[in-house]
């Protein structure tokens, strides 16, 4: 079903009756419900948003009845008597924001919910503000449903962001009924002040006192107030009139907008009153027609002029203004639009769809630029179920060649049910049609192509160069351009390509001096710091193999890696978080003869390192900061080394179903090819900046952060210790545009934006990998971050196999795991290996040009990883649809994916089973909104034995198990469920774990 709009070339004539203001209606109804007695509100509105408020108030026990063209409201004097325990706001943001706090005035607890898609609406900042006011509200994910406990607020000092005025209005409407005084202060930028002015004015009309500072950033509200009944008439709604005005502005016309009266054509207290001034500035010929009772737009040849508008006070007008700007002479600039992107949809990105019709709209950070004078052609568009986007695109389509098909054709009913009749009444044909429209194009405009480094987006050509050769090429072209930004607590370290090359040469000489030779493994356990990048490039420079180790690995895991890799050199930190990795490594090396000869220590502070010592250990300890400059002899030795791209360049240990880490080997050519494939798929170019929050010791950060940035020749932003708010600041400080990271980083970043109201201004693509990404989170993230969230699938062994593109339809972009990259083949098979048809779930297998060379010293495991005809067995279950888009539906392998870190279940089970109190043990996945999964242990204890959660943690700590691998819930059972042949029925345990939560916070 879609809205079909036919482009026209004839004169538009007729009249539109402007409906009454929904903004006034919401506030008047709510305030009347709080008054003791009967209030009358004259002038009905049929906006569905207002109907939701009426139903909410009725559900709370308020009498709201129609009397002619008026509503009669009988309130209980600041008390509600709910008729139900669950109340819905439908899809009305105003109802949600205004009523969630006021529900605390009910005499028993209620839950506030909404329509299915509306349950993704973030309300975290408002809930925190209400808690400061003394309201008891609970929400699992800072979205509806919200449980509100009864009890008057206590008052207090409330600090909340000024991102959305409705958050502030929601607190102000409740504050007069608190038992103590309330001070509300706005933090950060104040948006939508005119809406706050309306809230305060309406409160005063009902006898409530609010004292406001001159800058409208502080509100003092006395306690214990009572609202008085009132009688008022709703003024005309300028927000609805805007679509009639815009339709008339784009065509030869004679249109009367009945109801807009007065000197300005509308009420001065309407929050969108300024739209009329902007329309006049653009050249819309609006004149009062007192005899007809409205304003008239009459013209023979439309001629609009571009404008420069600050949208902070008229955010809801951005869509229709973008439509007007498309047909204006010159370029219109709409500034301060960040908060417009937190509405029903990302309205700024949605209006970029004008580009699909032939427009020129550019979204850059906090600004939307619209080049005017365009000729549009009809096409299929998505409205994201946003009423204002639907109506604005429909108006634009009325001047396009041919017809346009718009999704969610009934969305206009939310705010302006008469829209379709009004447009057809003017002679603009619009109708809702059944059937399937053509697929909607992306709301993100096609990327502007900028000069790319030679061959960077050609996988075949790119893979002919090693990573150090890519660095040399970029350094020669632009030596002073930024290569790495190291975000540190004491200030960001910015390193140019020239300086990076110098450090790489010096470190490569150090490795030669320590005896490292081509093909040998260099182990290093470092967080996301400059030293990681330098050491990786230096190892490749001499043909050595990079063997990074996850920073949180402790002696148990580190010892396995060192034994397997037989590394001559280990580089680690003197301090990392609360640990001393260098001291731990030296203690591990004492008395061992597995090849380790040198320990290089990096200082956390950046100065001289704190070097550990152990007389019983024959490992030599070096200070990274004391590495000397390269000598002429060493330069000559380096010049003689020419590593081949096909040689092994990376050894990365990963856990699998065996529970034992496996060493995955990749050549330089494989890694560069994989990065180049993603560069081409996403349209990345030389103006991008790569943000790397994922650990560089993971394939995600290593390959799609460091390697990709090096091939592309763009800055990479590193952050050693994760902090979402610090990350948000660095994203803006260094103009980051792209990242690939796991679910927890996406979750935390979204929450930081919602908490602060500040979104990254340049971020445009976030590839979500490493753990199952909940589809609601992906959709919410795209809206909140203002970036396209792309689904993907990959493994350490294959690199990325599937990836969506920013230009894919939104529901495919974030709603799937992408489709095959160029050169990659996919299939789904049954248990016998027979390929299954599209749309059928089965074993997911990949044939890729970036598949690994094999597991280190484990030809048996390497052979098991592939089918007889050479396809890699991912161990996942998937469905591939007819268009090639993949959805991963489950995992065959028994591995828990905790935020991108795979927990070695078998190893943990074996270790716990050795505890004297444990008779039987099984560890399964427990769903988690932030990390995707956490581990839950089900234990059967021996008779009379005691083994609690704390004891389990102590036991794993004693055995030096990485904290991220610890189960975060322990459940005791009389026996484990097993099948007839004795295997544990883990699906039954997983079903039970779905109802559980972790015992406490992340062990990390």
Beta strands in 836-986 (DSSP E): 842-847, 854-855, 872-880, 886-891, 896-898, 901-903, 918-928, 932-941, 970-972
Known binding residue 165? Answer is yes
3-state secondary structure 825-875: EEEEECCCCCECCCCCCEEEEEECCCCCCEECCCHHHHHHCECCCCCEEEE
Residue 343 annotated as lining a ligand binding site = yes
Instruction: Please check if 254 is assigned to a binding site.
Output: no
What's the CA gap between 515 and 509, in Å, rounded?
10
Distance CA 542, CA 638 (A): 7
Q: What average pLDDT does the segment 462-483 reach?
A: 92
User: Residue 889 pLDDT more than 90?
Assistant: no
Please state the rounded mean pLDDT for residues 508-537.
96
Q: How much is the pLDDT for 449?
A: 38
For residue 753, what pLDDT is reported?
87
Q: What is the 3-state secondary structure (H, E, C) of 229-264?
A: CCEEECCECHHHHHHHHHHHHCCCEEEEEECCCCCC
942 is in an annotated binding site: no
Whether residue 445 is predicted with pLDDT greater than 60 in this model: the reply is no
Coil, helix or strand at residue 524 = strand
**pLDDT digit string, tens, across residues 190-239:** 888 888 999 999 999 999 999 999 999 999 999 999 999 999 999 999 99
Helices marked H in 658-794 — which ranges?
A: 668-682, 699-701, 708-712, 724-733, 743-756, 775-785
pLDDT mean over 769-794: 80
Report whether 325 belongs to an annotated binding site.
no
Tell me: is residue 388 an annotated ligand-binding position. Answer: yes
Whether pLDDT at 123 is above 70: yes
CA distance 92 to 343: 11
Residue 776 has pLDDT above 70, yes or no: no
pLDDT of residue 442 exceeding 70? no
| pLDDT score of 477 more than 60 | yes
Rounded to an integer, what is the distance from CA 135 to the centroid of its chain?
A: 29
Range with the largest mean pLDDT of 33-37, 487-491, 585-589: 33-37
Residue 540 tokens read as: 């490749």
| Spatial separation of the C-alpha atoms in residues 415 and 92, rounded to whole Å | 9
Based on the number of CB atoms within 10 Å of its own CB, is 778 exposed (0-12), middle (13-18) or buried (19 or more)?
Answer: buried
With vertex at residue 325, the alpha carbon angle to CA 320 and CA 326, rounded to the nearest 5 degrees, is 100
Residue 93 annotated as binding site: yes
% of the chain beyond a pLDDT of 90 = 60
Calpha distance 901→557 (Å, rounded): 14
* The pLDDT of residue 440 is above 60: no
Q: Model confidence over 7-26: pLDDT tens digits?
A: 998 999 999 999 999 889 99
Are 98 and 170 in contact by the 8 Å Cβ rule? The answer is yes
| 347 is an annotated ligand-binding site residue | yes
What domains are defined for the chain? 2-17+236-351+380-397+410-430 (3.65.10.10), 22-233 (3.65.10.10), 896-993 (3.30.300.30)
Cα(384)–Cα(400) distance, rounded to whole angstroms?
21
C-alpha 410: how far from chain center? 28
Lowest model confidence (mean pLDDT) among 279-288, 495-504, 810-819: 810-819
Q: What count of residues does the chain have? A: 1004
Longest dimension (CA), the chain: 102
With cut-offs at 50, 70 and 90, classify the pLDDT of residue 451: very low
**What's CA 393's distance to the chain center, in Å?**
26
Residues 701, 532: Cα–Cα separation, whole Å:
11
Helices in 597-667 by DSSP H: which ranges?
Answer: 632-639
Distance from C-alpha of 257 to C-alpha of 237, rounded to nearest angstrom: 11
| 749: its two tokens | 């970043």
Which of 158-167, 466-475, 801-810: highest mean pLDDT? 466-475
Q: How far apart are CA 935 and CA 961, in angstroms?
A: 14
Q: How far apart are CA 2 and CA 381, in angstroms?
A: 10
Q: Which two tokens stand for residue 607?
A: 């100065």
**pLDDT average, residue stretch 845-849:** 97
Sheet holding 620-623, edge to edge: 620-623, 598-602, 569-573, 521-525, 545-548, 648-654, 662-667, 854-855
DSSP annotation of 19: P
More confident residue, 438 or 336: 336
The dihedral built from the CA positions of residue 728, 733, 737 and 742, taken in this order, carries a sign that is negative
Q: Are 148 and 110 in contact (CB under 8 A)?
A: yes
Strand pairing report for 331-335 and 308-310:
parallel
Residue-wise burial string across 357-389, b where 16 or more C-beta atoms lie within 10 A, e elsewhere = bebbbebebbbbbbbbebebebbbbbbbbbbbb
Catalytic residue among 316, 685, 748, 928: 316
- E strand or H helix at 431, and its extent? strand 430-433
| Sign, CA torsion 111/112/117/122 | negative
The reply to whether 1000 sits in an annotated binding site is: no
Both tokens assigned to 753: 């934006």
On the question of pLDDT at 657 being above 80, the answer is: no
Mean pLDDT of the chain, nearest integer: 88
Which residues does 1000 contact at the CB level (< 8 Å), separation at least 6? Answer: 968
Q: Comparing C-alpha atoms, which of 292, 294, 316 is closest to residue 244? A: 294
pLDDT at 246 over 90: yes
Strand order in the sheet with 110-113: 86-88, 110-113, 146-148, 137-138
Instruction: Please indicate whether residue 618 is annotated as part of the active site.
Output: no
d(CA 74, CA 40): 9
Predicted confidence (pLDDT) per residue in 709-750, tens digit? 999 999 999 998 888 888 988 898 899 999 999 888 888 898
pLDDT digits (tens, 9 = 90+) for 407-418: 889 989 888 999
How far apart are the C-alpha atoms of 274 and 242, rounded to whole Å?
A: 11
The secondary structure of 329-357, three-state, reads ECEEEEECCHHHHHCCCCHHHHHHHHHHH
């Amino acid at each position: 079903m879609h809205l079909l709009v036919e482009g026209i070339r004839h004169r538009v004539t007729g009249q539109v009756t402007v409906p009454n203001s929904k903004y006034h209606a919401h506030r008047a109804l709510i305030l009347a419900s709080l008054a003791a007695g009967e209030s009358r509100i004259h002038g009905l509105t049929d906006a569905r948003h207002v109907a939701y408020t009426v139903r909410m108030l009725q559900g709370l026990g308020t009498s709201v009845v129609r009397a002619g063209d008026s509503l009669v409201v009988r309130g209980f004097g600041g008390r509600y008597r709910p008729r139900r325990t669950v109340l819905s706001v439908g899809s009305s943001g105003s109802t949600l924001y205004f009523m969630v706090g006021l529900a605390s005035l009910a005499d028993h607890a209620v839950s506030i919910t909404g329509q299915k898609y509306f349950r993704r609406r973030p309300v975290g900042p408002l809930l925190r503000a209400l808690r400061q006011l003394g309201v008891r509200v609970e929400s699992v994910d800072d979205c509806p449903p919200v449980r509100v406990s009864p009890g008057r607020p206590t008052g207090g000092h409330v600090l909340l962001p000024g991102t959305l005025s409705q958050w502030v209005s929601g607190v102000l409407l409740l504050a007069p009924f608190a038992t103590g005084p309330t001070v509300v202060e706005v933090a950060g930028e104040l948006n939508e002040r005119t809406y706050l002015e309306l809230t305060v004015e309406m409160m005063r009309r009902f006898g409530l006192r609010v004292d406001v500072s001159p800058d409208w950033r502080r509100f003092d509200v006395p306690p214990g107030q009572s609202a008085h009944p009132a009688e008022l008439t709703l003024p005309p709604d300028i927000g609805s009139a805007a679509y009639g005005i815009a339709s008339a502005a784009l065509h030869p016309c004679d249109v009367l907008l009945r109801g807009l009266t007065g000197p300005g054509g509308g009420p001065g207290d309407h929050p969108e009153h300024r739209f009329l001034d902007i329309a006049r500035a653009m050249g819309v010929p609006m004149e009062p027609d007192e005899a007809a009772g409205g304003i008239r737009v009459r013209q023979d040849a439309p001629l609009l002029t571009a404008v420069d508008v600050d949208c902070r006070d008229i955010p809801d007008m951005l869509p229709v203004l973008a439509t007007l700007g498309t047909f204006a002479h010159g370029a219109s600039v709409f500034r301060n639009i960040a908060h417009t992107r937190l509405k029903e949809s990302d309205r700024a990105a949605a209006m970029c769809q004008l580009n699909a019709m032939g427009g020129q709209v550019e979204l850059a950070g906090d600004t939307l630029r619209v080049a005017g004078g365009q000729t549009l052609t009809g096409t299929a568009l998505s409205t994201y179920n946003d009423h204002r986007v639907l109506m604005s695109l429909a108006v634009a389509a009325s001047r396009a060649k041919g017809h346009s098909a718009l999704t969610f054709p009934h969305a206009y009913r939310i705010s302006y049910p008469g829209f379709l009749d009004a447009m057809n009444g003017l002679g603009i044909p619009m109708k809702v049609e059944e059937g399937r429209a053509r697929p909607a194009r992306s709301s993100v405009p096609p990327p502007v192509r900028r000069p790319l480094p030679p061959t960077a987006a050609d996988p075949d050509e790119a893979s002919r160069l090693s990573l150090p050769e890519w660095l040399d090429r970029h350094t020669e072209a632009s030596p002073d351009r930024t290569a790495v930004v190291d975000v540190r607590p004491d200030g960001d370290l910015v390193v140019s390509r020239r300086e990076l090359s110098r450090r790489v040469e010096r470190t490569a000489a150090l490795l030669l001096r320590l005896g490292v030779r081509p093909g040998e493994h260099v182990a290093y356990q470092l967080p996301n710091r400059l030293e990681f990048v330098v050491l990786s490039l230096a190892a490749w420079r001499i043909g050595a193999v990079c063997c990074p180790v996850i920073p949180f690995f402790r002696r148990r895991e580190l010892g396995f890696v060192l034994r397997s890799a037989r590394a001559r050199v280990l580089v680690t930190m003197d301090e990392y978080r609360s640990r001393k990795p260098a001291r731990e490594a030296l203690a591990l090396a004492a008395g061992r003869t597995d090849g380790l000869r040198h320990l290089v220590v990096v200082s956390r502070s950046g100065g001289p390192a704190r070097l550990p010592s152990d007389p019983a250990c024959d490992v030599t300890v070096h200070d990274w900061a004391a590495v000397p400059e390269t000598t002429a002899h060493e330069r000559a030795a380096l010049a003689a080394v020419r590593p081949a791209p096909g040689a092994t360049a990376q050894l990365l240990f990963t856990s699998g179903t065996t529970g034992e880490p496996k060493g995955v080997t990749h050549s330089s050519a494989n890694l560069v090819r994989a990065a180049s494939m993603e560069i081409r798929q996403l349209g990345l170019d030389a103006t991008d900046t790569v943000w790397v929050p994922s650990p560089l010791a993971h394939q995600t950060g290593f390959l799609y952060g460091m390697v990709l940035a090096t091939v592309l020749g763009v800055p990479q932003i590193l952050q050693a210790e994760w902090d979402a708010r610090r990350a948000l600041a660095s994203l803006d400080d260094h103009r980051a545009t792209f990242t690939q990271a796991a679910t927890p980083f996406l979750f935390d970043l979204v929450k930081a934006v919602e908490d602060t109201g500040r979104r990254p201004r340049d971020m445009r693509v976030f590839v979500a990998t490493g753990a199952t990404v909940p589809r609601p989170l992906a959709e919410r993230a795209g809206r909140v971050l203002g970036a396209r969230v792309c689904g993907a699938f990959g493994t350490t062994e294959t690199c990325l196999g599937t990836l969506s593109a920013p230009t894919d339809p939104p529901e495919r972009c974030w709603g799937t795991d992408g489709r095959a990259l160029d050169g990659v083949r996919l299939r789904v098979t049954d248990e016998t290996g027979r390929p299954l048809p599209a749309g059928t779930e089965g074993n997911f297998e990949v044939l890729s040009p970036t598949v690994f060379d094999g597991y280190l010293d484990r030809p048996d495991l390497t052979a098991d990883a592939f089918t007889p005809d050479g396809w890699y067995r991912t161990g996942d279950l998937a469905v591939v649809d007819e268009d090639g888009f993949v959805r991963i539906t489950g995992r065959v392998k028994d591995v828990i994916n905790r935020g991108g870190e795979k927990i070695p279940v078998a190893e943990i089970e074996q270790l716990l089973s050795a505890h004297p109190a444990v008779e039987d043990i099984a560890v399964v996945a427990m769903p988690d909104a932030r990390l995707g999964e956490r581990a839950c242990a089900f234990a059967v204890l021996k008779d009379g034995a005691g083994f609690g959660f704390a004891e389990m943690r102590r036991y794993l700590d004693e055995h030096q198990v990485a904290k991220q691998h610890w189960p975060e819930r322990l459940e005791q059972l009389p026996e484990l469920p097993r099948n007839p042949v004795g295997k544990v029925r883990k699906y039954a345990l997983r079903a039970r774990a779905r109802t559980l939560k972790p015992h406490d916070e992340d062990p990390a």
